[in-house]
């Protein structure tokens, strides 16, 4: 087949998509209004075709068409496809931009990108003056960045003076979503028109099972039972399971099992290959299958009903990874995967009662269950001072916002009146948690950023230590990892990470070095890229801004940890009894060192520590830690309690009067007593550690955990 014939066939193929019949209407709808909501199921062609139509209709005359995606792979693959259909070289008229990969040029007019990239662009150009159309895709997924973009775009038009001032031609906004959220979106965007494109899906019938908790699913016995025995509703699952095990299935099609555990990454590639004729393929997948993977020909779904989710808990001030029931809408989506190419079946292994009583209608959007510190700083830098009344499609709880403000104040990113500081303006440029950025900037001001940049990169990527399942191998890996930690000459997990980065980077054969040391080469490679990016950002800021310069007259060997303290003083803990540590952030949580830490079993020698993160499993564990001296954080710790909720909410609402400010400052001055003894400060800090609160939080957690245990009686 010649090249042109192939292209023609692509073009003809696109004319078969459901969206094609609505081409002219769609173009008119975009012309007629500022906001437009477009809904359509997967397969309607909206992601690839709408930008193409708008391009053909002349929307690129003044500016670009930008289309956001929540994920990188999607941005890249869709751009490739559209470039092919429009018969142009990728990176010319049609391009994409994701982190570490900018495939655009001066001539790019149709630009696919991740939502995070567009947010970065808004920081540099708040009215998006280069764009004539912005399309937010997959809005129903409710990713944090897409939600923020939605609010910003809505706000751009309500602050009409501002928007007009910065632009010479109109901006059109299209939001694309699955059907369920369309009316809500329309209401949010001043009752904009909703354009519905029929999808191309087949019916899926669902049946229920008898599992009532993740433990049921976890136990191999149960899974085996489910897969080989029976279902409450009879033969259907039996048939599906027969299909799974039979070498010569009687029905064509695939079967997919969405689980909530991890999947060996090295096996992912084979998933996309069609099975040999007469062999059934079974895909066992995490929720990566919900969005990121498109596997054609799936006919059966087995739905576990659970998902592993990272939730922010503002009660204890930390992120907790937990297994929770999915929402009904998520379950419908899982089921929908079986009906893409023909009629399908979904086997829900939980009871109908569980569906009715324990599963929420919709998934809680990310913005309502995540730490907002970085996002609030971004908003502040965009001139959104009233972060409580920002137009959120779904408002985060006020205490989440207050907690974020408090942290930003603690990191010197905002001042007492909620205004972004010089330091805050530098911090927003880094793709890191503000605390870590604070440590990086401290190091840079002292000229020792070579210590902090690699560390920040290592803390940004997935876990680098491989721990195999095989007991022998596990022992081997543990020994090697411990030796790596010992090499730094001190108990310090941060220093170990830095050392691994440096050792690998300076090795002649870095990938072989990783293999020898049970380290993920892929993770280290991305750490190298992140470090390069962070270094570039730092260099740029040092050239244009009034960059802070500090001096350090302490012991050189303390420099690294002293820098860390400026970003991690919110994560300070003091050893209380035995191996238990008590956090000093005001929550007074009782935490243990994780056994993977080089400080583990050395607790007796420790007093004060700082840590990177907390993991709640059988206990509350802190991972990646190092010992510090109380003197290093003594002056910082009072900052943890300096601001109270009342003041912050005023700051957040921009309601602070001058009178209030004077009152507040007087109170603050009174608090700052001339010389306070160490014991006094500690006493004061520990007094805040309300044990009832901690015990309560713990009890709630255990209760939730209990609820998830198998209940054989049912």
Partner DNA sequence: GAGCACTGC
In the complex with DNA, the residue whose CB is nearer, 192 or 524, is 524
Stretch 385-444 residues interacting with DNA (CB under 7 A): 431-432
Which of 217, 219, 237 lies closest to 227, judged by CA?
237
Scanning 115-123, 165-173, 216-224, 483-491 for contacts with DNA by CB under 7 A, the matching segment is: 115-123
CB of 292 to DNA, least distance (A): 5
In the complex with DNA, the residue whose CB is nearer, 363 or 445, is 363
In the complex with DNA, the residue whose CB is nearer, 48 or 596, is 596
Q: Which of 10, 23, 81, 99 binds DNA (CB under 7 A)?
A: 99
Using rule CB under 7 A, residue 604 touches DNA: no
Using rule CB under 7 A, residue 98 touches DNA: yes
CA angle 475, 478, 484 (to 5 degrees): 145
Using rule CB under 7 A, residue 108 touches DNA: no
Q: Which of 297, 447, 595, 695 binds DNA (CB under 7 A)?
A: 595
Q: Which of 116, 213, 317, 339 binds DNA (CB under 7 A)?
A: 116
Binding mask 269-308 for DNA (x = CB under 7 A): -----------------xxx---x--------------xx
Using rule CB under 7 A, residue 612 touches DNA: no
Cα(318)–Cα(571) distance, integer angstroms: 10
Question: Beta strands 608-616 and 172-177: pairing type?
Answer: unpaired
Cα(167)–Cα(81) distance, integer angstroms: 31
CB of 70 to DNA, least distance (A): 6
Tokens describing residue 368: 């309502």
Task: Count residues binding DNA (CB under 7 A).
Answer: 42
Using rule CB under 7 A, residue 253 touches DNA: no
Using rule CB under 7 A, residue 114 touches DNA: yes
CB of 71 to DNA, least distance (A): 3
* Tokens 């954080």 belong to residue: 633
Scanning 108-116, 540-548, 567-575, 705-713 for contacts with DNA by CB under 7 A, the matching segment is: 108-116
What SS3 state is found at 307? strand
Looking only at Cα atoms, what is the longest distance across the chain? 85
Cα(319)–Cα(390) distance, integer angstroms: 24
CB of 128 to DNA, least distance (A): 15
Task: Name beta bridge partners: 196.
Answer: 39
Which residues, in sequence order, are CB contacts of 136 under 8 Å at separation 6+?
68, 115, 146, 149, 150, 153, 173, 174, 175, 176
Which residues, in sequence order, are CB contacts of 701 under 8 Å at separation 6+?
320, 616
Q: Which of 88, 284, 384, 615 binds DNA (CB under 7 A)?
A: 615
Cα(697)–Cα(691) distance, integer angstroms: 10
Cα(350)–Cα(331) distance, integer angstroms: 11
Using rule CB under 7 A, residue 28 touches DNA: no
What SS3 state is found at 288? helix
Using rule CB under 7 A, residue 264 touches DNA: no
Q: Which of 60, 217, 374, 382 binds DNA (CB under 7 A)?
A: 374
CB of 307 to DNA, least distance (A): 7
> How would you label 53-79 residue by residue, b for 16+ Cβ within 10 Å and e otherwise?
bbbebebbebbbbbbbbbbbebbbbbb
Q: At what angle do helices 521-544 and 434-445 cross, to 10 degrees?
A: 60
Which of 398, 397, 407, 396 lies closest to 373, judged by CA?
407
Q: Which of 47, 104, 145, 583 binds DNA (CB under 7 A)?
A: 145
**Which parts of this chain interact with DNA (CB under 7 A)?**
70-73, 98-99, 114-117, 120, 143, 145, 260-263, 286-288, 292, 307-310, 321, 374, 431-432, 460, 463, 467, 469, 478, 594-596, 600, 615, 617-618, 621
């Amino acid at each position: 087949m010649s090249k042109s014939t192939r292209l023609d066939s692509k073009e003809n193929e696109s004319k078969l998509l459901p969206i094609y019949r609505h081409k002219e209407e769609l173009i008119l709808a975009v012309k007629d209004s500022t906001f437009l909501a477009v809904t359509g199921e997967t397969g309607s062609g909206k992601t690839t075709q709408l930008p193409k139509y708008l391009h053909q209709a002349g929307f690129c005359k003044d500016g670009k068409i930008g289309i956001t995606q929540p994920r990188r792979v999607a941005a890249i693959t869709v751009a490739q496809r559209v470039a092919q259909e429009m018969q142009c070289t990728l990176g010319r008229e049609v391009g994409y931009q994701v982190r570490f990969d900018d495939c655009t040029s001066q001539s790019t007019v149709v630009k696919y990108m991740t939502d995070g990239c567009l947010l970065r662009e808004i920081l540099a150009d708040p009215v998006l003056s280069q764009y004539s159309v912005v399309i937010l895709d997959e809005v129903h997924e409710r990713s944090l960045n897409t939600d923020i973009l939605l609010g910003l775009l809505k706000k751009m038009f309500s602050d009409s003076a501002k928007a007009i001032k910065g632009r010479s031609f109109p901006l059109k906004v299209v939001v694309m979503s699955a059907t369920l959220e369309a009316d809500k979106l329309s209401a949010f965007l001043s009752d904009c028109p909703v354009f519905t494109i029929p999808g191309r899906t087949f019916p899926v019938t669902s049946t229920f099972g008898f599992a009532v908790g993740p433990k049921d699913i976890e136990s191999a016995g149960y899974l085996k039972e489910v897969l080989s025995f029976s279902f409450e509703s009879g033969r259907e699952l039996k048939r599906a399971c027969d299909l799974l095990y039979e070498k010569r299935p009687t029905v064509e099609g695939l079967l997919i099992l969405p689980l909530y555990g991890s999947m060996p990454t090295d096996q992912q590639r084979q998933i996309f290959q069609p099975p040999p004729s007469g062999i059934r393929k079974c895909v066992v997948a995490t929720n990566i299958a919900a969005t990121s993977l498109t596997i054609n020909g799936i006919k059966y779904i087995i739905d576990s009903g659970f998902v592993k989710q990272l939730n922010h808990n503002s009660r204890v001030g930390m992120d907790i990874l937990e297994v929770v029931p999915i929402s009904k809408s998520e379950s419908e989506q899982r089921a929908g995967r079986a009906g893409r190419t023909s009629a399908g079946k979904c086997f829900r292994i939980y009871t109908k009662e569980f569906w009715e009583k324990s599963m929420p209608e919709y998934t809680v959007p990310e913005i309502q269950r995540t730490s907002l510190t970085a996002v609030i700083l971004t908003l502040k830098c965009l001139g959104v001072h009233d972060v409580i009344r920002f137009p959120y499609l779904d408002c985060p709880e006020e205490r989440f916002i207050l907690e974020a403000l408090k942290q930003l104040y603690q990191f010197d990113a905002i001042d007492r009146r909620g205004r972004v500081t010089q330091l805050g303006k530098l911090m927003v440029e880094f793709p890191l948690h503000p605390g870590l950025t604070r440590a990086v900037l401290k190091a840079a001001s002292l000229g020792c950023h070579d210590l902090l940049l690699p560390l920040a990169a290592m803390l940004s990527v997935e876990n680098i230590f491989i721990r195999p399942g095989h007991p022998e191998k596990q022992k081997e890996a543990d020994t090697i990892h411990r030796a790596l930690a010992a090499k730094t000459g001190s108990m310090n997990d941060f220093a170990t990470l830095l050392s691994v980065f440096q050792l690998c980077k300076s090795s002649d054969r870095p990938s072989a070095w990783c293999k020898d040391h049970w380290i993920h080469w892929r993770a280290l490679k991305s750490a190298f890229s992140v470090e390069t990016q962070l270094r570039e950002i730092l260099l740029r800021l040092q050239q244009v801004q009034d960059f802070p310069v500090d001096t350090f007259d302490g012991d050189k060997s303390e420099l690294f940890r002293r820098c860390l303290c400026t970003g991690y003083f919110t994560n300070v803990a003091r050893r209380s009894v035995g191996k238990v540590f008590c956090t000093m952030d005001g929550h007074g949580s009782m935490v243990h060192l994780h056994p993977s830490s080089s400080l583990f079993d050395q607790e007796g020698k420790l007093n004060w520590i700082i840590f990177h993160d907390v993991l709640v499993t059988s206990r509350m564990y802190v991972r990646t830690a190092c010992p510090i001296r109380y003197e290093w954080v003594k002056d910082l710790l009072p900052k943890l309690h300096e601001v109270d909720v009342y003041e912050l909410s005023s700051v957040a609402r921009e309601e602070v009067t001058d009178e209030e400010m004077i009152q507040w400052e007087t109170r603050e001055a009174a608090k700052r007593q001339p010389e306070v003894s160490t014991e006094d400060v500690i006493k004061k800090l520990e007094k805040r550690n309300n044990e009832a609160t901690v015990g309560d939080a713990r009890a709630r957690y255990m209760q939730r955990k209990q609820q998830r245990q198998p209940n054989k009686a049912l």
